[in-house]
Amino acid sequence: MASQSFTLANLRISQIDSFYSQKPSSPIHFFSTKNPVKSLNLTNPWMSGDSSLSLDSSASVLRTNSTTRRKIPIAVVASLPTANPESAVSDAKKPKWSWRGIKSFAMGELEARKLKYPNTGTESLLMGILIEGTFFTSKFLRAHKITLYKVREETIKLLGKADLYSFSPEHPPLTHDAQRALDSAVNQNLKAGGAGEIMPAHILLGVWSEVESPGHKILATLGFTDEKAKELESFASESGFLDE
């Protein structure tokens, strides 16, 4: 009995060896070489109707999606909100905000959010100018000992701390004082002939022109005066509101 099972095992092993030793008459291809991919259809017997799936059709869809990808345009902000749209001049003569001016405004908004204030006021615009830091206006303020830390400290003293559980909106709306300060910055550029862009110096002078605003009061507390405002204005006009 044992010899019979041993013989059967040897017979099966010899059959397997003979199968693998055979050389195929033609090469084995998983796909047709004459019409690859296109001739391959995958059918699904469990799906009703036309259940064939063509690899070529899906590949063409992928190629189409990759080649006809929609380009997303990038919009560049060149203006800030104004309260006097009716007084706006034509687009050709309308003064444009410099990237430093826009950055100062954006940093002011961010500082208002950090302090959890519901609005962007003149004090936030002032802090935004100091955070921007590369223009000569911020350097002028720091040279007169007006720093971001001092302005933030005076802001909390004047306006108080926000509630711990309060949340500031993503874009805190401008206060009336801050809006008038921005409009004043535009008017200053128009009075000068509209040459050049609106810079952080225009914003600072606009904040200083709002006597009852928190920004003006903070500047006055830290030693900013009308003489220094005139000094800044004359220096800015001589340099053409360009960086040092």
201-218: pLDDT as tens digits? 999 999 999 999 999 999
Which distant-in-sequence residues (6+ apart) come within 8 Å of 49 by Cβ? none
- In the chain, what is the straight-line distance between the N-terminal and C-terminal CA atoms, in Å? 105
- pLDDT score, position 195: 67
- pLDDT score, position 135: 81
Q: Sign of dihedral through CA atoms 115, 117, 122, 125?
A: positive
Closest among 116, 119, 141, 143 to 200, alpha carbons compared: 141
* CATH superfamily name and code, 115-235: Clp, N-terminal domain (1.10.1780.10)
Q: Within a 10 A sphere around the Cβ of 219, how many other Cβ atoms?
A: 25
Give the residue ranges of the chain where pLDDT is below 50: 30-33, 37-40, 42, 46-49, 51-78, 86-88, 242-244
- pLDDT score, position 173: 94
Closest among 122, 120, 115 to 162, alpha carbons compared: 115
Rounded to an integer, what is the distance from CA 181 to the centroid of its chain? 25
Whether 208 contacts 229, CB under 8 Å: yes
- pLDDT score, position 1: 52
H-type helices in 133-175, by residue range? 136-143, 148-159
